Amino acid sequence: MKIAIVILVLILIFLIVENTRISVSRYRVTCRGLPKEFRGFRILHLSDLHTKRFGKDYDRLIERIRPLHPDIIFFTGDLISRSEKKYAKKVTLMKRLTKIAPVYYCLGNHEVDNKALTEKLSDELIKLGVHVLVNSKETLRRENSQITIYGLALESYFYRNPNGDFKGLPQVTKAEITELCGKNDDDIFSVLLAHSPLPFSEYESWGADLVFSGHIHGGVIRIPFINKGLLSPERTFFPDYTYGVFRKFGANMVVSRGLGKFRIFNPSEIVLVSLK
């Protein structure tokens, strides 16, 4: 009996540690067509906070981010969960992030499922100076060069069927991305913030040069030794694009393991990308 209690206590401690620690992943990403003025540009990427807290007013998270000195911060959706009723704490976090670097934010499936709260949250974030991109774009200039940052917001039916299951989900097409975000300008380097990484082929076909995504939560449980993520939010085993940097033809995609939700061998992640 005592051995069983000790084992349970150890498992509990392990789960607490696994779900409170924060890792920092650093990548140098070589991008074809990147203007020389953006070489060495430092992008901090966050995603999928959901209901997770990292100390009072997210102190532990901010303490890990501030020394990284990013030029810009991307947050690729699921800042909230669909079940949440309040957003004040999320405004506090984003306000603190804006003190570090300009923040660009696109919507995830939980924001789309919680539209009333998302509208109020977005209004508050815009007042703070957060660049809220909902099927829209903004131009970022450095010296005599520019890049375009797009934010894609897909409807709920791309993530889950109306009856709650995940069978036969439609896949977004290049034409639908064009309808939502407009035609990509091939002459200007384009960054796409898109919550789900699964349609990477379509993003590349549309013309994105660099994509930032989250959504998969690193596969929830990462299998030791083989370093595979077990499960996607769509209830698919061993999904593609769980985390890291992926390349398809001329496009790169950076996928975050995210910050929130339950996880094992899969710590919450801050991503820092330096462009080449």
pLDDT value, residue 233: 93
What integer pLDDT is reported at residue 263 of this predicted model?
A: 94
pLDDT value, residue 146: 97
> What pLDDT, on the 0 to 100 scale, is given for residue 18?
86
Per-residue pLDDT 10s for the chain (276 aa) are 888 888 888 888 888 888 899 999 999 999 999 999 999 999 999 999 999 999 999 999 999 999 999 999 999 999 999 999 999 999 999 999 999 999 999 999 999 999 999 999 999 999 999 999 999 999 999 999 999 999 999 999 999 998 889 998 999 999 999 999 999 999 999 999 999 999 999 999 999 999 999 999 999 999 998 889 999 999 999 999 999 999 999 899 999 999 999 999 999 999 999 999
Q: What is the pLDDT of residue 130?
A: 98
Give the pLDDT of residue 119: 97
pLDDT value at residue 11: 85
Q: DSSP string spanning the chain?
A: -HHHHHHHHHHHHHHHHHTT-EEEEEEEE--TT--GGGTT-EEEEE---TT---SGGGHHHHHHHGGG--SEEEEES-SS-TT----HHHHHHHHHHHTTS-EEEE--HHHHHTHHHHHHHHHHHHHHT-EEESSEEEEEEETTEEEEEEEE---GGGTS-TTS--TT-----HHHHHHHH----TTSEEEEEES--TTHHHHHHHT-SEEEE--SGGGSBEETTTTEE-B-TTS-BS-S--SEEEEETTEEEEE---S-S--BS--EEEEEEEE-
Domains and CATH numbers, the chain: 2-275 (3.60.21)
